[in-house]
Amino acid sequence: MKAHTRKGWMLALTFALVATFASACSSNNGNKNAASPSASAPASASASESGTEESTSPYKEKYDPPVEISTVWGVDPALKFKNGETIENNVSTKWALDTLGIKINSLWSVTDTNNAFVTKMRLSMSSGQKMPDTVTIGDAQLAQDLIDTGMFQDVGELFDKYANDTWKKAMELDPGVWNPYMRDGKKMGIPVLDYAYNHDYLLWIRQDWLDKLNLEGPKTLADLEKIMDAFKNQNPDGLKPDKVVPLSIGFKTTMNTWMGDPSWIFGAYGTVPGQWNVAADGSLEWGSINPASKQALETIKLWRDKGYIPAEAALWDENKTSEPAVAGTAGIIPGPYWMSGWPLLDTAKNVPTAVWKPYAIPTGPDGKAGRHGTNFTSGVTLINKDMKNPEALFTYQNYLFEHLADPAKGSQWDLGVFKGYDYDLDASGNPVYLDKIPGGEVNINRYWLVKDGARIPDAQMKSLLALADGKEPETRLEKEVKNNYGPETPAAAKVLLSQPGISISDMFTGPSTPTMSSKQDYLKKIELQAYNEIIYGKKGVDEFDKFVANWKSSGGDQITKEVNDWYATTK
Amino acid sequence: MGYLRRTWPFHLMVLPALVFLIVFNFLPMAGVTMAFMDYKPWLGFSKSAWIGLDHFRALFEREDSIQVIMNTFIIAVSKIVFNLAVPFTFAILLNEVRQRFLNRSIQTLVYLPHFLSWVILGGILVNFLSTDGGLVNRVLGSFGIGPIPFLMDGDWFRVTIVASEVWKEFGYSTIVFLAALAGINPSLYEAAEVDGASRWKQTRYITIPSLVPMAIVVGTLSLGNILNAGFDQIFNLYNSLVYDKGDIIDTFVYRTAINDGNFGFATAVGLFKSVISMILIVISYRLAYKWANYRVF
């Protein structure tokens, strides 16, 4: 009897285990079944739409009945939502449905930390999941791989046919924006335009320190050295020399990034490392092997020996370089014009007397100056081959280029776009921004179907320059930069544009070449290793010549040839 | 047949685990074919081109591949040795602490770091070991020992990697040995005391010999990791100054294969590591069987 009960227990336990397992399986199936009807919905909706034969062109200002555009989202982790909204269903999707008759259908979304969006996109690509009607990709390599899948269509004709003049003119500012997405003369994706000069460098210097020391801003590297020495050894805030970081730079993974890198020191000698520059003979060359880099490395080594740059610069990434700047222990930090808003705005919380002012990039011994430039694009929008109404995407984007990008004074979005999100009105009807909005501000630029909505490359700089000259903000964009950027941003824009010719852009924007995929990592590795060993004095500066020879023979020459073959096709 | 009729509920209980194993461990093994393909996800297995041993050739053609494999090997072997020796010694020492409360508190404290991820610990270590005002160097400085570049010099980097790994994991590994200690028959000690053996002699002739089989088992199991030098640890701590001594197979696969979406190459390297590990496990299992009379199968 006793044995019998035990057996009974065993049986019960077994069934419980099996049942759990089975239910785990079937709940997955359940999800799958639930997903499929919604996936078939757009097909039926568009079928009924194509049945109407009222107009000859499918393009409409407003679609009735509404059409669907399916997409996927990488949600900026810093993006806040209010009123219980989500990226799938918010004030912007509601607006698109009400105003344009476009229903945004989200297939999936993921919070984009640690490149999660790129990873998920790659996984859905490799597992053969349904691709969205349209998707905007910022990662260059992923964009190229997606184009290679053949699941996305030639957009050239669509763009010529449906895009409005504002958008076309913005795109014509730099005809090179299409280059990365050309395949056999076909345009396989619409470049997403971004503001020009967004990553071009200038120097941010503690003006209060300069004033107390009676020093002028630097014109040359020699001036800069004097300033750094004074910051370190006669610090105006009374900091001990070993507590000051006169020049906050870092190069953990590259010498050429978006904040706090030393690329402009190379620029003073006539090259920019870590990118493809046009050489004297008109071909493309890898900036890191240019002989000018050797001189720049000597300078950086000297500065490190004197303690002008952080002792552990080789371990510092972008955000780390901003830490001493914000803490008030750094005197100079190189970076883009927008740094006045973030991160430098926070310095005042730690050192109330701190004042950051923008200064031009100093020149080298031969009077040269240089910095890395910004391409006008931040990504690409791809259109699925099977998208039923590609014209709807143009309806959406045309509207934004007309009303959001840079409308004249008096447009409907002059004060802001969505009341209660990016602006609000106080009791007397005056607009309020940022923290004064009840419930907090939301960065609605992240809500648009295409990243950042619509940007005209030169528009923001034009607005900033107007403000720098003392003009009162009038247009939508002028108000936006006034309200959302730091106090020194207009001045920084002016400093930036005082050196228009020194920006050197990476000229290679094509898909990675065959030799790159097998050799690139090794070449990058020996480059960083040689550079750091020179800067840290482990090897003499002549190690540079050995590195160049090694770089060339280990595949660098082959890559240079492939890059130039690609370059020839773009001319 | 009667046997099966009596025991079928037990077999049924194993079934979920078996299904799990087949679905998640055996079926994906078909994916190793990727190692011999120029695998393009959108083309799939049927349409990707076969390229034979090209990925393996690429692995060994890299100028630094021997260096990377040696780095991996040296770091992994040091970790295995110290991860065995330190917990072994520590367990014996802790066993001598007679005060139960103290004994338990120490045990809990030392295994806490095991639960921290390397992402967090990496950030903490970079600050602690900084030559520029880091805590460790400040303490050393007060003894007149001048700043040691723990993370910026290749040889120190290896020491740092092994030492921090051992610090993080030894408390956890100690538990296994403490369990083995609890399993030693007390009558052995009683007999030794009657014979007049000192505390040290008891440790030398009873405790240590009783722990050796467990040490061999732990060592055998860890030999499978001979080419795993700890990706998440090194990835969070390394930098270009220590590439020559600290770059390991996994970090190099991450940079080439995962960053560039070269799945075929990643699979080839993974397969290479698995084959080496399997050979080592088979050998060490035979050795363990011979010396410690330990067998799983």
Instruction: Provide the pLDDT for residue A47.
Output: 40
User: Which residues of chain B does A13 touch, with a Cβ-Cβ cutoff of 8 Å?
Assistant: 13
Is residue A37 over pLDDT 50? no
Taking the CA atoms of A87, A90, A91 and A97 in sequence, report the sign of the dihedral they define. Answer: positive
Residue A428 contacts by C-beta under 8 Å, 6 or more apart in sequence? none
Q: How far is A141 from chain B (nearest CA, A)?
A: 7
Would you place residue A535 in the very low, low, confident or very high pLDDT band (cuts 50, 70, 90)? very high
Distances (CA, A) of B232 to A501, B65, B119: 43, 20, 7
Q: How far is B228 from chain A (nearest CA, A)?
A: 21
A148 touches chain B (CB under 8 A): yes
Averaged over B108-132, what is the pLDDT?
90
Residue with tokens 């953990």, as numbered in its chain: A252
Averaged over A370-395, what is the pLDDT?
92
Averaged over A70-93, what is the pLDDT?
90
Closest CA in chain B for residue A528: B240
State how far the Cα of A354 lies from the Cα of A345, in Å rounded to an integer.
10
Mapped onto helix, strand or coil, the DSSP state of residue B229 is: coil
Fold entry, domain A202-372+504-570: D-Maltodextrin-Binding Protein; domain 2 (3.40.190)
Please give the sequence-ordered ranges of beta strands (E in DSSP) within A447-565, or none if there are none: 503-504
Q: How far is B94 from chain A (nearest CA, A)?
A: 39
Contact A115, A428 (CB under 8 A): no
State how far the Cα of B291 lies from the Cα of B216, in Å rounded to an integer.
9
User: Which residues of chain A does B16 touch, with a Cβ-Cβ cutoff of 8 Å?
Assistant: 17-18, 20-21
Instruction: Express each pLDDT in A125-152 by its tens digit.
Output: 877 788 999 999 988 888 988 998 889 9
Residue A49 contacts by C-beta under 8 Å, 6 or more apart in sequence? A63, A65, A67, A388, A389
Write the ipTM.
0.78
Averaged over A526-543, what is the pLDDT?
93
**Which among A21, A315, A529, A532 is the top mutation candidate for probing chain B, defined by the most B β-carbons within 10 Å of its own β-carbon?**
A315
- To the nearest whole number, what is the mean pLDDT of chain A? 86
A522 touches chain B (CB under 8 A): yes
State how far the Cα of A301 lies from the Cα of A286, in Å rounded to an integer.
22
User: Which residues of chain B does A242 touch, with a Cβ-Cβ cutoff of 8 Å?
Assistant: 133
CA angle (A84 as vertex; A78, A89 as ends), nearest 5: 85
A408 compared with A286, residue with greater pLDDT: A286
Are A150 and B42 within 8 A, CB to CB?
Answer: yes
Averaged over B184-194, what is the pLDDT?
92
Q: Which CATH class is domain B71-245+275-292?
A: mainly alpha
Closest CA in chain B for residue A311: B132
The single-letter DSSP state of residue A418 is: S
Instruction: Express each pLDDT in B282-293 by its tens digit.
Output: 888 887 788 767
Averaged over B128-153, what is the pLDDT?
88
For A291-322, b where at least 16 C-beta lie within 10 A, e where not — what string?
A: ebbbbbbebbbebbeebbbbbbbbbbbbebbb
State how far the Cα of A515 lies from the Cα of A11, in Å rounded to an integer.
61
| Pair type for strands B37-38 and B49-50 | antiparallel
**Which among A521, A526, A531, A533 is the top mutation candidate for probing chain B, defined by the most B β-carbons within 10 Å of its own β-carbon?**
A521
Are A312 and B152 within 8 A, CB to CB?
Answer: yes
A7 touches chain B (CB under 8 A): yes
Question: Can you give the residue ranges of every domain in chain A?
Answer: 55-193+378-412+442-457, 202-372+504-570
DSSP B35-57: GGEE--TTTHHHHSEE-TTHHHH
Closest CA in chain A for residue B14: A14
Instruction: Express each pLDDT in A212-238 by its tens digit.
Output: 999 999 999 999 999 999 999 999 999
Is residue A487 over pLDDT 50? yes
Instruction: Provide the pLDDT for residue A241.
Output: 92
Residue A372 contacts by C-beta under 8 Å, 6 or more apart in sequence? A199, A200, A201, A256, A263, A264, A267, A272, A275, A503, A504, A505, A506
Is residue A121 over pLDDT 60? yes
B130 touches chain A (CB under 8 A): yes
State how far the Cα of B91 lies from the Cα of A178, in Å rounded to an integer.
66
Residue A25 contacts by C-beta under 8 Å, 6 or more apart in sequence? none
Would you place residue B157 in the very low, low, confident or very high pLDDT band (cuts 50, 70, 90)? very high
Are B243 and A17 within 8 A, CB to CB?
Answer: no
Least confident of A195-209, A297-311, A465-479, A522-536: A465-479
Closest CA in chain A for residue B64: A522
Instruction: Express each pLDDT in A55-72 by its tens digit.
Output: 568 888 889 899 999 999
Averaged over B116-142, what is the pLDDT?
90
Query: Considering only residues 224 to 263 of chain B, which have any Cβ-Cβ distance to chain A shorter than 8 Å?
Result: 239-241, 243-244, 247, 252, 255-256, 259-263
Instruction: Express each pLDDT in B41-79 by its tens digit.
Output: 777 777 888 888 888 888 888 888 889 999 999 999 999
Tokens representing residue A82 in the block = 């209010």
State how far the Cα of A255 lies from the Cα of A276, in Å rounded to an integer.
13
Instruction: Provide the pLDDT for residue A38.
Output: 39
Distances (CA, A) of B83 to A569, B182, B235: 57, 21, 20
Are B152 and A314 within 8 A, CB to CB?
Answer: yes
Are A252 and B63 within 8 A, CB to CB?
Answer: no
Instruction: Express each pLDDT in A97-109 by its tens digit.
Output: 999 999 999 999 9
Out of B44, B151, B263, name the one closest to residue A315 (CB).
B151
User: Which residues of chain A does B20 touch, with a Cβ-Cβ cutoff of 8 Å?
Assistant: 21
CATH H-level superfamily of A55-193+378-412+442-457:
Periplasmic binding protein-like II (3.40.190.10)
B15 touches chain A (CB under 8 A): yes
| Pair type for strands A330-335 and A202-206 | antiparallel
Are B9 and A148 within 8 A, CB to CB?
Answer: no
Mapped onto helix, strand or coil, the DSSP state of residue A77 is: coil
Would you place residue A50 in the very low, low, confident or very high pLDDT band (cuts 50, 70, 90)? very low
Residue A569 contacts by C-beta under 8 Å, 6 or more apart in sequence? A182
